[in-house]
Amino acid sequence: MSHFSQIKTEIRNLESLKDALNDLGIDWKQGPRDVRGYRGQTHAAEVTIEQDNGYDVGFTWNGKEYELVADLQYWEQNLSVEGFLRQVTQRYAYHTVVKETAKAGFQVAEQKQAQDGSIRLVVQRWSA
């Protein structure tokens, strides 16, 4: 029986996911690689975060979105699973918005981070 948990996310863009992990200072490895779990079990992932205890965290594509994959019994991150996903998702959303607005010809004109951690972006586009 597998010890791996797969947690759904709204993450669909691999490049924005990688940028989010970089922003958070998380050391990750490019996949496909195996996420290591209990008793040598493995699960394939596109992004792997190695933990010092020999059990990994990863993100795997399910055909629709990237799911977080880990043996949660051996979770060894600074935050809870929910806190970790909240931070990754916020940075992912930031990068997705900036990239998509840039494709439409917009530039970030203003950016402010509130005390609650939310980010306010103002984008603009000049038309001739």
Burial 40-62 (b: 16+ CB within 10 A, else e): eeebebbbbbbeeeebbbbbbbe
Q: How confident is the model at residue 128 (pLDDT cuts 50, 70, 90)?
A: low
**pLDDT, tens digit (0-9, with 9 covering 90-100), for 112-122:** 988 887 888 88
Whether the full predicted model's pTM is greater than 0.75, yes or no, is: yes
Model pLDDT, residue 44: 94
User: What residues contact 38, with CB distance under 8 A and at least 6 apart?
Assistant: 3, 55, 71, 73, 74
- Kindly tell me if the per-residue pLDDT of 1 is higher than 90: no
- Per-residue pLDDT of 84-113, as tens digits, reads 999 999 999 999 999 999 998 898 889 898
